């Protein structure tokens, strides 16, 4: 079992709002790895939209993504791609 940890910055203007959080949860659910997101000492299960929203990650926030499992590396790469695309938002 592998463990991957990566720090990512929220670059979309609206931060990790409902639609972006839903996209993140959908991405996490494609993998079997356990994914945890952390910001400012608070953690959330990457499969829980409510948990992700409670992080209150705004534009410029840094979020630590930790994945554990066989496909942890692929999960983190997919999440990083989503962050890099600004959650498919223009701003």
The residue annotated as part of the active site, out of 6, 14, 17, 51, is 17
Asked if residues 2 and 66 have their Cβ atoms less than 8 Å apart, the reply is no
Question: Residue 49 corresponds to which tokens in the numbers above?
Answer: 């939209």
Task: Classify strands 42-45 and 34-39 as parallel, antiparallel or unpaired.
Answer: antiparallel
| 59 counts as catalytic | no
Q: Look-up: residue for tokens 């494609």?
A: 30
Residues annotated as part of the active site = 17
């Amino acid at each position: 079992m592998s463990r991957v940890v990566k720090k990512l910055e929220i670059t979309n203007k609206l931060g990790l709002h409902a639609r972006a959080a839903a996209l993140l949860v959908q991405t996490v659910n494609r993998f079997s790895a356990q994914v945890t997101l952390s910001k400012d000492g608070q953690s959330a299960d990457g499969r829980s939209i409510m948990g992700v929203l409670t992080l209150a990650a705004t534009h410029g926030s840094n979020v630590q993504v930790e994945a554990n499992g066989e496909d942890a590396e692929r999960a983190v790469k997919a999440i990083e791609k989503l962050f890099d695309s600004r959650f498919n938002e223009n701003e």
